[in-house]
Amino acid sequence: MTDAKSTVLILLGPPGAGKGTQARMLEEKFGLVQLSTGDLLRAAVAQGTPAGKAAKAVMEEGGLVSDEIVLAILRDRLGQPDVARGIILDGFPRTAGQAADLDKLLKYTGQNVDAAISLEVDDEAMITRVAGRYTCAKCGEGYHDEFKQPAVAGVCDKCGGTEFKRRADDNAETARARLEAYHAQTAPLIAHYRALGVLQEVDAMGSIDKIAADLGSVVERVSA
Ligand code: ADP
């Protein structure tokens, strides 16, 4: 896994809070590696691995994949050498069991969580955000039906790509189920990390750049 001095950050927040967007910005700014269990699971589904096959239906319904499967794919990813400078966990841990697994894993490697950053947003806005979002199939740039269309219709602003994709679970109904799963199973982790003294709360209803600046200050402070 990562060496003893590397930074470990956790991003907490409901679907649509901007965890992925912000994690990518933190990657660039601080040379950390984003580990998104959602991305890892989608890759497993696309490749048709046994874990992917087991996860597919539950993901489409907006439920949570079993802790066992998620931990196994995360462990695999943590075994790769690029994580040495530090990691941003995006979408993990999502249950009390996963938080306990992470604590054990870090204890074993002599690390600790430098910060668990909770992105504070309001629920209704999340449904609208998630249900309208899509990305460029080539470079991954994010767009939204209502809030951010490409300058030239059908052409990605960033790479000129002309194909776009939408996640199977990005619709209003599934987004509601995911939000419920977040409140029932993940939001209690806020208290867990507060008790450990590493919780940082960031208002995530402003502009992407303002949120990135606020997060950047937190990361500078905790990794100093
Ligand atoms: P979002 O945070 O926008 O809902 P993610 O890409 O993080 O999206 O996750 C998509 C789906 O993948 C989740 O709804 C869930 O089914 C599954 N998933 C991702 N991470 C985990 C995890 N740590 N534990 C269980 N299921 C997970």
Lowest mean pLDDT of 29-33, 105-109, 209-213, name the range.
Answer: 105-109
Q: What pLDDT, on a 0 to 100 scale, did the predictor assign at position 118?
A: 97
pLDDT at 139 > cutoff 60: yes
Record the tokens describing residue 44, joined without a space.
């497993």
**Nearest Cα to 179, choosing from 117, 131, 116?**
131
**Nearest Cα to 91, choosing from 185, 168, 198?**
185
What whole-number distance in Å separates Cα of residue 69 and Cα of residue 137?
27
77 in catalytic set: no
pLDDT at 98 > cutoff 70: yes
For atom 3 of ligand 1, the residue with the nearest CA is: 15
Q: Considering the entire predicted model, what is its pTM?
A: 0.91
Cis peptide before 81 (omega within 30 of 0): no
Record the tokens describing residue 184, joined without a space.
């029932």
Q: What is the mean pLDDT of the chain?
A: 93
Q: Could you tell me how far CA 213 lies from the centroid of its own chain? A: 18
Catalytic residue among 42, 77, 94, 129: 94
Give the list of residues 6+ apart from residue 178 with CB closer than 8 angstroms, or none. 14, 15, 62, 130, 169
Record the tokens describing residue 121, joined without a space.
């947003």
Q: What pLDDT, on a 0 to 100 scale, did the predictor assign at position 2?
A: 43
What whole-number distance in Å separates Cα of residue 115 and Cα of residue 124?
27
For atom 6 of ligand 1, the residue with the nearest CA is: 38
For atom 1 of ligand 1, the residue with the nearest CA is: 15
178 in catalytic set: yes
Distance from Cα 65 to the centre of ligand 1, integer Å: 7
Task: Name the pairing type of β-strands 142-144 and 164-165.
Answer: unpaired
For atom 16 of ligand 1, the residue with the nearest CA is: 59
The string of pLDDT tens digits covering residues 175-199 is: 999 999 999 999 999 999 999 999 9
176 in catalytic set: no
The string of pLDDT tens digits covering residues 150-166 is: 999 999 999 999 999 99
| DSSP one-letter code for 138 | T
Give the list of residues 6+ apart from residue 35 with CB closer than 8 angstroms, or none. 74, 77, 78, 83, 87, 88, 89, 90, 92
Q: Assign 89 to helix, strand or coil.
A: strand
Cite the beta strand spans of the chain per DSSP E.
7-12, 33-36, 86-90, 115-120, 133-136, 142-144, 164-165, 199-203
| DSSP one-letter code for 64 | P
Average pLDDT over residues 44-69: 96
158 in catalytic set: no
Ligand 1 atom index nearest CA of 91: 7
pLDDT at 5 > cutoff 70: no
Average pLDDT over residues 201-224: 93
Q: At 224, is the pLDDT very low, low, confident or very high (cuts 50, 70, 90)?
A: confident
167 in catalytic set: yes
pLDDT at 1 > cutoff 90: no
What whole-number distance in Å separates Cα of residue 53 and Cα of residue 60?
12
Q: What pLDDT, on a 0 to 100 scale, did the predictor assign at position 4?
A: 43
End-to-end CA distance of the chain: 21
pLDDT at 63 > cutoff 60: yes
Distance from Cα 37 to the centre of ligand 1, integer Å: 6
